[in-house]
Amino acid sequence: MTNEEIEAMVSKHERQNLELKESFGTESIETACAFANASGGYIIIGIDDKGNPTKKNLRVESLRDFENKISTATEPSIAVDIEENLYCGQKVIVLQVPESPLKPVATKGRCFIRKGSVNHQMTPTEITECYIKSTGSSMDAIIVPGVTKEDIDCDAIRNYMKTASENGRRNFTMKEDPWDVLTKLELVKSETQITRAAYLLFSKEPQIKFPQAIIHAGAFKGADIIDSYDVLGHIQDQIEDTVAFIKKNIHCALVVPPGKIEHIRVWDYPIEAIRETVVNAVCHRDYSSPDDIQIKLLENDLVIFSPGELPFDMSLETLNDPNHSSKPRNKLIAKIFFDMGIIEHYGRGITKIKEECDKNNNPYPEWDNGHGAFTTIYQMCNSKANKTISNIAQKLSPLQCQILIFLKQNPSASRKQIASKFTNITEDGVKYHLTRLQELGLLKHVGPDFGGNWEVFFD
């Protein structure tokens, strides 16, 4: 490595693949371990973290000493390339650490991985995930104990085959045996060796073995829950049900864009971005975690909580890089989602979310990767300044419009009857929407509380 190359590296300061050290010590070995568990990197001895040479006397004999210390203190052993060089006229030592083919690498019983410019001590879950990934497998390839071929729903497999063929992602014929299809896709190993992916996607009742494989969605008015829904079943079917629940509980404006005649629908939140986020939550969550996916529709925010932080070798910084490589935690599930058209392109989810936010005039969501989960927070559409067809229509959700239509046809309907008419809404939820419609002057109750009729002032 030339002096100019070192200066170019140091000018960018410490980052994912560079660590600057004034002297060699325990932290240098931990950094070598962290680089080996990630994508490799450089440790430069003799430069402080501000990029200044330390002017310490580094002996030539130190090269062999550093190499031996790293090799003997790591398991599996790390073989580093070491060379002496000059930086700003001062002697420095450059250690190049390759990515290890065998992971995880440990030092003194602890495993580290590089995240940004920091060495992160890996959790037991990350260590397991790292080991499985180093074998070329993934977390959803783990065999589910106590499950047999009899637990598999062949109709669900046939639906996958039909959808994948229609999308042009696969070329199945409906004469093929569903079990043979799972075997060829490596979703099952034998009649008693069923992977997590096969069970979650195609078992008769996925929540028996994985009760956490649900989406718990709730809509809130202040501290009160006005609507809730537990989305069960096969994980590929959970996505559209969840999006439908969200659409039912947010508003849709009818907007005429400047210079246009026809109106368009503008939701509080970008629906396609929300769908992409739900897909990511279902596909990439940690199914070892006992927590479920949680969605909270607050008055001004939408929060989507997915169990499991980003994969051990990915950070928020790399996630926001539009050219980042795809690193699915559950490769088998991702493959099936791709075949079914649920995932369109690998590694493009964040870019798509940002594009949809721009279209809908929403700020980009905030992402939090910590405390055992990955959380996405959307803010409500920040501008409804466009000319609207109807100020009233702008304030109504699709469900509220449906309630008005139902009451116009059934003016004597009770709250209980309204709740039974619409799926997944409680009587308390009906009460909230009726109150809102009365506040807008679109609805009036005439007569006693128990009985009487509704007058609707909306066509």
pLDDT tens for 271-288 read: 999 999 999 999 999 999
- To 5 degrees, how large is the angle CA 422–CA 426–CA 431? 95
Number of H helices, E strands in the chain: 16, 19
Q: How many structural domains compose the chain?
A: 4
Do both 275 and 307 map to the same domain? yes
Considering the chain, what is the average pLDDT of its residues? 88
Q: Are residue 41 and residue 101 in the same domain, yes or no?
A: yes
CB–CB of 104/111 below 8 Å?
A: yes
Give yes or no: residues 232 and 317 share one domain: yes
Residue at which a domain ends, from 379, 406, 425: 379
Determine, yes or no, domain membership for 135.
Answer: no
In this prediction, residue 458 carries a pLDDT of 60
Q: For the whole model, what pTM was predicted?
A: 0.73
- Model pLDDT for residues 224-245, shown as the tens digit of each residue: 999 999 999 999 999 999 999 9
Say whether both 222 and 315 belong to one domain: yes
Expressed as residue numbers, the domain containing 9 is 3-122
315 and 188 co-located in one domain: no
**391: in domain:** no
Residue 87 φ/ψ, nearest 5 degrees: -140, 115
One domain, residues 275 and 169:
no
| Burial class of residue 238, CB neighbours in 10 A (0-12, 13-18, 19+) | buried
Residue 385 lies in a domain: no
Q: Answer whether residue 96 shows pLDDT above 90.
A: yes
Asked if 235 and 96 sit in the same domain, the reply is no
User: Are residues 250 and 157 both part of a single domain?
Assistant: no
- Could you report the per-residue pLDDT of 156-203, keeping only the tens digit for each? 999 999 999 999 999 999 899 999 999 999 999 999 999 999 999 999
Tell me the two tokens of residue 146: 């106590």
